[in-house]
A = this chain, B = another copy of it.
Amino acid sequence: MSQVTLEGFPERVRIVDVGPRDGLQAWPVPVSTDVKIEMINGLIAAGVPQLEVTSFVAPRAVPNMADAAEVMAAIDRSRGAELTALVPNARGAARAIEAGVDAMVVFLSASESHNQANVNCARDVSLAAAAEIARMGQEAGVAVYGAIATAFGCPFEGDVPVTDILHVAKAYADNGITKITLGDTTGMATPRLVQERCRALATEVPQADVALHFHNTRGVGLACAYAGLMEGITRYEASVAGIGGCPFAPGATGNACTEDLVYMLHESGVETGIDLDALIEVARRTEAALGERLPGQVMKAGPRLRQYRRDEVRSSSGSRA
């Protein structure tokens, strides 16, 4: 990128594609292991530096993640992309370590009722599990990162006080987990909340290295990323083609779309190390493989400077402004 970076934005950002995990975990029909592997290796070939490739949860609870070890074993590791996996408990951590992940992601919800609904236990119990997984990771030489779900709002409780985010972040940090993702689980993040929460964390938990994970459920996924960029945050999780829905709003969009975010970053002079054209091809192949229209926009419209002949225009309506 030879362009000057947009005022206030960082010069470089690390993109984490969570499509293989967050996008596919609740996909309504089974997704074959081959499709997952092709997607993941395509993302790696396109230069995505970090991927959340699967989840070591109980196969009965999340059938689409039952092939976690099989997926891990087939990933192209020659390019050094960092592979992370979600782990809910010690049992999952043991499987993840065995499968050779680069990092395990522990998670809990900032709101009590969402944690109960999601993993059927209190936040404190989840925190104790995270501490145990942190110890297991340390012993095995595997990094452990922490995700905070419902960090911008809870579908059961509404607004989530920033103090709850700080509480969880501090507890993570006390256990040596300093790479912390704020997860916009059901699309309740807004630019203002992003600004408020990033600033509070910078002040109150300065050892936290914050990543942001937005959903586009209410259309403002990239606007929230914009707010995060203005706060100097340099790690963003998104999902190729925007795969993933929202269990609370059937028909609504889920994860922010990776290639749309990368498009915005590149056009703002922010480096990602990703080949956008190759990424768009992965998005298109993923849409074809899943057989369902996905939310990504750039993959439909193509590159910004794509040029047309006049006879390619669908209609010359005489009044396009």
Contact = CB atoms under 8 A, between A and B. Distances in A.
B300 A252 contact: yes
Contact of A153 (B153, B304, B315): B304
Q: Which 3 A-B pairs have the closest CB atoms?
A: A219-B260, A219-B297, A190-B267
A167 to B, nearest CB: 17
Given A6-B195, A308-B155, A246 B301 contact: yes
Interface stretch (A37-45, A132-140, A210-218): A210-218
| Copies of this chain held together in the complex | 2
Interface in A145-188: 147, 149, 153, 155-159, 181, 183, 185, 187-188
Nearest to A26: B317
B319 A25 contact: yes
A320 B113 contact: no
Contact of A190 (B65, B220, B227, B264): B264
Interface of A: 3, 6-7, 21-22, 25-26, 55, 57-58, 61-62, 65, 86, 88, 105, 107, 113, 116-120, 147, 149, 153, 155-159, 181, 183, 185, 187-188, 190-192, 195, 213, 216-220, 222-223, 225-227, 246-253, 257, 260, 263-264, 267-269, 296-298, 300-302, 304-310, 312-321
A197 to B, nearest CB: 14
Given A6-B192, A156-B310, A308-B155, A147 B217 contact: no
A313 B192 CA distance: 27
Contacts of A257: 219
Given A61-B317, A190-B268, A217-B297, 6 more contacts: A118-B319, A156-B309, A217-B301, A218-B301, A219-B298, A223-B223
A308 B248 contact: yes
A321 B219 contact: no
A249 B153 contact: no
Contacts of A249: 300-302
Given A220-B263, A315-B247, A156 B301 contact: no
A55 B319 contact: yes
Contacts of A225: 223
Contact of A320 (B118, B159, B306, B316): B118
Contact of A58 (B187, B218, B318): B318
Given A65-B319, A88-B318, A320-B185, A6 B191 contact: yes
Nearest to A248: B308
8 contacts: A192-B268, A217-B297, A218-B298, A218-B304, A219-B296, A247-B320, A248-B314, A249-B301
